[in-house]
Amino acid sequence: MKRRDFLKGAIPASVTLPGLLSPFSVKAFAENAPLVQALMLPTTITDHVLVLVQLTGGNDGLNTVIPLEIYNSYINARANIAIPESKVLHLTGVNKVGLHPSMTGIQSLFNDGKAAIVQSVGYPSPNFSHFRATDIWMSASESNQSINSGWMGRYLNYEYPNFPNGFPNSTMTDPLAIQIGSVASLTLQGPAINMGMSISNPTSFYSLLNGILEPAPSTPAGKELTYIRTVAKQTEQYATVIKNAANSVTQQVTYPTGNSLADQLKIVARLIKGGLQTRVYMVSFGSFDTHASQVNSIDTTTGTHAILLQKVSDAIKAFQDDLKYLGVEERVVGMTFSEFGRRIKSNGSIGTDHGAAAPLFVFGKNVLPGVIGDTPAITTSVSVNDNLPFQYDFRSVYSTLLENWLCVKKEDLQTIMLKNFQTLPLINTAACKVSSPNTSGTKLISNYPNPFAASTTITFTTAGGHTLVQVIDVLGRVIQTLVDEDYQAGTYQVVFKSTAIQKGVYYARLQNLSAQQVRTMLKAE
């Protein structure tokens, strides 16, 4: 298709835009011009919500999902921490594995058909550093690659490419993602900015609901601090919608107390029921870094790890019950993840060291229940350095959730996941609906064609002043600077010649004072 044909096809017949046919059409596209609207990718319509539960520290998979069919090898490898066979919780219709005795909540979800277990999830050349492995899981990078965006951030950038310009708006009034925790997680980091909103902790959530400012001393410094905090509160653009959503929910089921994961999930359920269109929630819980005293040596079904697993299991069970009680069970799927599993063989301090692949849980009414994958193999001569190999790449789980739960078109998965991965039978796929146009904010930068081969034309809108357009690769390296000078306010075009670059995902980044926007581009052949 020629560019001219494309433009002709895209605009209503009655609208004439004479400036379009010149190579550099200035100010031809007003922000709300039909053409610009037409160029927007419509946001996928779905009311599905994904809840990510991060278990920080590296959860010991072998003591979470116990390999009953190789129980002798299991106990041989970790006699000092092994769970007695008789105590392992049975899963209906499953003989090869069972659950840690403290996980009665997950057991009941599984037996009700609301949970799945994916065995031995990992990736090639596993990394054993908490930080690095966490970054790999959050960015969905290769083991030897440092990618500075997160998989959910890229997904949200794909759905809402213009964020935060023009947000909130009439159709997206709510945060794109909400994370409980003080640091903006890499998971939600888009190619340019973080796509999520952080709520430091459950207390700050309730402070927000109740309009409580942190106390300040009655000194001049305290006076000014209070003033600035008041303005900051007023400018928190999502404070009101969150308050309204939360306040519309007055009854929930009883959650376990003294369980910080339960505290977080209780908020998530409340916000979902309260009507937020937020698609992604992220909570975290830890620490699972059980190098020593993982179990109580007198009774290995008790101890640090048992308490942690019980809290996870109880919290998720209460959450799932609450979703049902609130009538939103159909809309929510959750998954747990941890940066790695732990070593097959236990150590001398009744604990386990950093390992590799581990099982994860996917839960929700629309989950296809069952255990995916074989029970990991453990040799009788297992050595201290041996790790479980992965059966499923964690990115296959992500890719499946994107396609089958968040309804991303199959052909677009690669621009988010950076590669193609297999789809797993995890989700009842019936619920995905078709796309329709949406108010997706103010588009400041776009390109055509996309995907592209030898070149693509980038259209950008500047408010005037210094304007920068760079092409950046997924590692964050600047491939080419296309524009770097002062401009009059208006819309301009520049051609990016791409013959010299490898195929893959690239970002066109616009910087114009406080405005920053990133367009995802795919070089095909």
Partner 1 sequence: MDRRKFLSAFKSRSAAPGAIEELIEPPETARTKTTLAPYTGPWRTNEVVHLLKRTMFGASKAIIDYFLSRTTSQSVDELINPVTPLPEPPVKEYDTTGALTQPDVNIAPGATWVNDPNNDGTIQSRRRASFKKWWMGQIINQDRSIREKMTMLWHDHFSTETVDVSNAQYIYKHHALLRSNSLGNFKSLVRAVTIDPAMLVYLNGQLNTANAPDENFSRELQELFCCGKGPGSLYTEGDVKEAAKVLTGWRNNATTISSYFDSTRHNTTTKTFSSFYNNTVITGRTGATGGDLELDALLTMIFSTQEVALYVCRKIYRWFVYYDIDSAVEANIITPLAAIFRSNNYEIKPVLSALLNSEHFFDVLNQGCFIKSPVELVVGVCREFKVAFPAATDYISNYALWNGLVSYSSNMQQNIGDPPDVSGWKAYYQAPQFYEIWINSDTYPKRNQFTDLLVGNGYTANSKKIVVDGAEFAKQLSNPGNPNILIDDLLNIIFRLPLSSASKAQLKTDILLGGQSDDKYWTNAWILFISNPADTSNATIVKNRLRDLLKYLMDMAEYQLI
Query: What residue ranges bind partner 1 (CB under 8 A)?
Result: 54, 56-57, 127, 129-132, 134-135, 144, 146, 148, 181-184, 186, 192-193, 200-201, 203-204, 206-207, 210, 212-229, 231-232, 234-235, 284, 286-287, 289, 465-466, 468, 470, 481, 484, 509, 511, 513-514, 516
Q: What SS3 class is residue 290?
A: coil
b/e per residue 269-285 (b: at least 16 CB within 10 A): bbbbbbbbbbbbbbbbb
Q: Which is nearer to partner 1, 277 or 287 (CB)?
A: 287
Here the tokens at position 256 are: 């376990």
Asked if 103 and 310 count as a contact pair (C-beta separation under 8 A), the reply is yes
- Minimum CB distance to partner 1, residue 4 (Å): 32
- Minimum CB distance to partner 1, residue 334 (Å): 18
Asked if 164 and 177 count as a contact pair (C-beta separation under 8 A), the reply is no
Q: Which is nearer to partner 1, 90 or 497 (CB)?
A: 497
- Minimum CB distance to partner 1, residue 515 (Å): 9
Q: In whole angstroms, give the CA distance from residue 301 to residue 304.
A: 10
Secondary structure element (H or E) that encloses residue 3, with its range: helix 3-10
- Minimum CB distance to partner 1, residue 1 (Å): 34
Between β-strands 455-462 and 445-448, what pairing exists: parallel, antiparallel or unpaired? antiparallel
Least Cα distance to 7 among 497, 493, 474 occurs for 493
Q: In whole angstroms, give the CA distance from residue 263 to residue 275.
A: 19
- Minimum CB distance to partner 1, residue 152 (Å): 16
Q: Quick one: CA dihedral 471, 477, 480, 485, positive or negative?
A: positive
- Minimum CB distance to partner 1, residue 514 (Å): 5
- Minimum CB distance to partner 1, residue 252 (Å): 19
Q: Which is nearer to partner 1, 149 or 399 (CB)?
A: 149
Least Cα distance to 309 among 333, 332, 290 occurs for 290
In the sheet with 515-523, reading across from the earlier edge strand, the strands are 478-487, 465-473, 504-512, 515-523
Q: In whole angstroms, give the CA distance from residue 337 to residue 331.
A: 20
- Minimum CB distance to partner 1, residue 229 (Å): 5
Q: Which is nearer to partner 1, 92 or 203 (CB)?
A: 203
Helices and strands in the chain: count of H runs, count of E runs: 13, 19
Q: Which is nearer to partner 1, 68 or 193 (CB)?
A: 193
Asked if 332 and 121 count as a contact pair (C-beta separation under 8 A), the reply is no
Beta-carbon contacts of residue 421 (< 8 Å; ≥ 6 apart): 393, 395, 396, 398, 399, 413
The residue whose two tokens read 């975290």 is 284
Q: Which is nearer to partner 1, 128 or 325 (CB)?
A: 128
Asked if 74 and 61 count as a contact pair (C-beta separation under 8 A), the reply is no
Q: HEC string of 409-438?
A: CHHHHHHHHCCCCCCCCCECHHHCCCCCCC
- Minimum CB distance to partner 1, residue 57 (Å): 6
- Minimum CB distance to partner 1, residue 466 (Å): 6
- Minimum CB distance to partner 1, residue 264 (Å): 13
- Minimum CB distance to partner 1, residue 175 (Å): 15
Before 425, cis peptide (omega within 30)?
no
Here the tokens at position 460 are: 């950008």
Q: In whole angstroms, give the CA distance from residue 191 to residue 208.
A: 29
